[in-house]
Structure formats: structure tokens, C-alpha cells
Amino acid sequence: MSCCEQARRQELEWLRQEVSAARGRRERLLPLLQEVQERLGYLPPQAMELLAAGLGIPLAQVYSVATYYRRFTLTPRSQHVLQVCTGTACRLRGADQLLSFLLQRLQPGTKASTGGGAGNAGPRGGSACGCGGRPAGESAPPVSVETVNCFGACGLAPVLAVDGRIHGRMDAGKAAELLEKWVER
């Protein structure tokens, strides 16, 4: 067992306790899903099974809720998440160019995915090794580029968030500096 699997086991132990305290209370589903996503960086099947059994909801419904909201991911997220705001103001002021610059530099040949919110993009997971508690064998690309609807920092458009931290008045040059500082070390 890798250190990460151990970490994940501990996390699920925590969830087991939370679930037994919330037995039968359906409204706890979203807050608990949020917390699992926050701690592990994604929703593993075991966590959804635990929630279904504990809260007394069919597993299909847990899955349906988990896949409805943009915030949750069923596969591990990358260690670094870059989020390009594509809100109206950012788009008018060059978000598309910023996005294609990042994609070209980091993931040639791929398209951006639509991701969750800022609160969702902090450093992943609770394990010390920084792999996000990911089980061995499952791997995510080290950096992912996502688009978000709007951070509400329209006055500083275009805006780029690096691991949840928002940077304003962006252009390719400034983005390159940020990448060198935070991501490509």
C-alpha cells in the first residue's frame, strides 16, 4: 500500500464517522460531497457508496447529484489547476488568446475542460507527499487548464487563477511568468 492509499483510507474513516452522525439527513449530502472533494481532490466510488448507505439515499441518486454539479470530479484532478475566466468581460479583453497560449504551452493538442470554482482549486488532498491521496496507478496530468464562468473580478479582466489564486490584468507574458514561478518549477 502506498502512502497515498493509506491517506485515503484515513480519509474514508473520517467520512464513516461523519456519515453516522448525519444518518438519514439527506441535506447533508452536498456538504459531505464537498468535503470529500476538498480532501481527496475527487469523489472515489467508495465515498459515494458510504454516503448512499449512511444517508439512506439510492447510490444512483448520489451519483446523479455528484455528476450534476460542476464542482465535483469523479477522477483525480491535477496537482496544479489553471483556470481561465471566460466571463463576458474577460472574453472581450482577451481570455481566448490567453487560453490558447496556455494550452499551447502546457498541453499541446488538448482542449480546455470546464472546471469547478475557485474554492475547488486549492492544492489537492491531505497527504504529505503531495500526490493528493491518489491510489497507485491512477494518475492525473500534472497541470490542467480549465475555463470558469466568472470570478467576478471583471474590472481586472482578463483574469487567470493559479491553484485557486486569482491574478488580474493578464497577458501571455505575465501568464508565462506565473507558470515559471508556480507550476513549472
| Residue whose grid cell is 471583471 | 154
DSSP letter string over 32-50?
A: HHHHHHHHHSS--HHHHHH
User: For other proteins, which residue of 44, 54, 87, 132 counts as binding (CB under 8 A)?
Assistant: 87
Question: Coil, strand, or helix at residue 109?
Answer: coil
- 26 is a site residue for other proteins (CB under 8 A): yes
Q: E-strand spans in 16-76? A: none
Beta-bridge partner residues of 143: 80
User: For other proteins, which residue of 86, 125, 134, 144 counts as binding (CB under 8 A)?
Assistant: 86
- 94 is a site residue for other proteins (CB under 8 A): no
**26 DSSP 8-state letter:** G
Stretch that binds other proteins, among 6-14, 41-49, 129-137, 160-168 (CB under 8 A): 160-168
Question: Coil, strand, or helix at residue 83?
Answer: strand
Looking at beta carbons only, is 141 or 168 nearer to other proteins? Answer: 168
- 177 is a site residue for other proteins (CB under 8 A): no
Quick check: 133 and 8 in contact, CB under 8 A? yes
**Footprint (CB under 8 A) of other proteins, residues 34-73:** 34, 64-65, 68-72
Applying CB under 8 A, the residues found at the interface with other proteins are: 26-31, 34, 64-65, 68-72, 86-93, 114, 116-120, 148-157, 159, 164-169
